[in-house]
Structure 1
């Protein structure tokens, strides 16, 4: 059975949560709490859309807010999603195909290329762009 997207149900979710651009640490914490709640359940298509929207808003805020300390950090997003999901390092190894690669990525010794980002996005049901450092993408396009 394929679940279909219900615009009315999505509108109800948007009204209940009122997602918007995140501008403060407190708003970020609220969005993170909602994401964590959604992460630990079987999501409807509407909830999954809200989940992806909130992750995108959180990532945008954190990229801008923490830009002084770090550039876009896909490894941090991967660690966060791995920690907050019911998935394990072994599950990542199955997706990416190598224990060494997973260890290198988690330790920051290897960058996540666009192909790996797509695999991770599919695995966690989020946008692949969360795992791609813009500098890596630009470098791979010039090679």
Structure 2
């Protein structure tokens, strides 16, 4: 076994629990870690752990697609649902954009961007994949 392989095995033993999602328990742990990383990193792409945040988000998305498929629903539809669920109007979402921007998103004239998806996921405590 090469030195590289030995080093990788050693590191993988530490990283595997963070990046492995095979069941609901591991999925729940991954969601918790993702939320903690989002709280720490936000949308700072220069943060040293941003790559981990991105990778974990991708792994969660893959698991959700397979085990928790969402019916065909656009991000705007989900936003509308959460707004109704929480009794919010467009002006209550100033952190994602002006009332005009929110209106354009809800009417399908504008797509949610990455920053907005992250803010909405954090606000409604759901996976960012919900809005994608």
User: C-alpha offsets along residues 3-55 of structure 1, whole Å, 9 cap, x if unaligned?
Assistant: xxxxxxxx69x7385313x2311111000110111111246633111111111
* Pairs aligned (count): 96
Q: TM-score, normalised by structure 1?
A: 0.48
* Structure-2 separation of matches of 1:23 and 1:71: 24
User: Is residue 93 from structure 1 mapped to residue 82 from structure 2 by the alignment?
Assistant: no
Extract unaligned runs of 5+ from structure 2.
1-10, 83-91, 120-128
Deviation at 1:65, TM superposition (A): 1.0
Distance 1:45 1:112, change over 3 A: farther
| Paired residues for 1:107-122 under 5 Å | 110=107, 116-117=111-112, 120-122=113-115
Three-state SS of the structure 1 residue aligned to 2:28 is helix
Which residue does the alignment assign to 1:25? 24
SS in 1 for 2:49: helix
Q: Tell me the C-alpha RMSD between the 2 structures.
A: 3.8
Q: Is the 8 A contact 2:30 2:56 kept in 1?
A: yes
TM score, norm. by length of structure 2? 0.51
Question: Which residue of 2 is the match for residue 135 of structure 1?
Answer: none
Contact 1:63 1:71 in 2 (8 A): no
